[in-house]
Amino acid sequence: MTSEPRHILVVVHTLRDDAIDAAERVCASLRDAGARPVLTRDDLDHLRGDAARLDGVDVLGETAALDDIELAIVLGGDGTILRAAELVRGSAAPVLGINMGHVGFLAEIERDAMDEAVHRVIQRDYDIEERLALQVRVKDADDRVLYETWALNEATVEKASRERMLEVVIEVDGRPLSSFGCDGVVVSTPTGSTAYNFSAGGPVIWPTVAAIAVVPLSAHALFAKPLVVGPDHAVAIEVAEHTNGTGILWCDGRRSHELPPGARVVVRRSADPVRLARLHPAAFTDRLVRKFHLPVIGWRGPAGGAS
């Protein structure tokens, strides 16, 4: 009796030569191990001219269905990992990031451990970590849903014009909190707390903490400090009807929707988390120190090895 083929999605940063070489190598290793490498049509079309060894791979949505995908191996940085999370959204497939970029905060390992990663995937030797994601809805003044999407890192309401300030009202669980003019508002997950939220002055949130951060951008207000609310609260940003300009919603920097005056963006925890494959258990503190090159000179550690 033959077993069902194992389909492994390979998502590639097609503008990086090293990622193209890595894609050839990973696909060849998967085939040698009896698995079926899968690429998106766009990635395959970008890579085919330089990668003869990619002939014969399956194509997502054509010769391999989304529900067939066991896991996604990502060759790139955080942006490519976000694209992979978008591709497998709605399935049970976890995402394993191999960092080919600079910081690569979401990546599990660096490029020099790529062969080990493929071997561990074939052996199903990995853990799965679920990360909180956001459900994002744009509503009109009559509470009708105009647009719906999701985010792993953040949902950001920004002004659409550089010359005009955006007037917003922040709401939590249906109650108004504060109104002010600003450049925008970032609503972040713990995963996204080291991304735009961090650059905007928001707090770093450990991935094990279920929370949502709200960070105003360049707000003209006395009370416009970052907020952290529980995961079961709903945060809304209303674009004031009297505002001079329009806004725009961005989710993970990948999906956008225009926000006219009077629009409401309602953000809450999604019922569907994002699943990340982990090969090595590691403290989040160590990841912060390594990725941000934080100075720890002078640290002695707790006496006796215990805190």
Within 10 Å of residue 302's Cβ, how many Cβ atoms? 7
Give the separation between CA 23 and CA 17, rounded to whole angstroms.
Answer: 10
Distances (CA, A) of 145 to 34, 42, 59: 46, 31, 34
- Least Cα distance to 219 among 157, 176, 269, 173 occurs for 157
Enumerate the active-site residues. 78
Compute the radius of gyration of the chain from its Cα atoms.
Answer: 21
CA distance 192 to 212: 10
> Amino acid identity, residue 235?
V
Q: Is 67 helix (H, G, I), strand (E, B) or coil?
A: helix
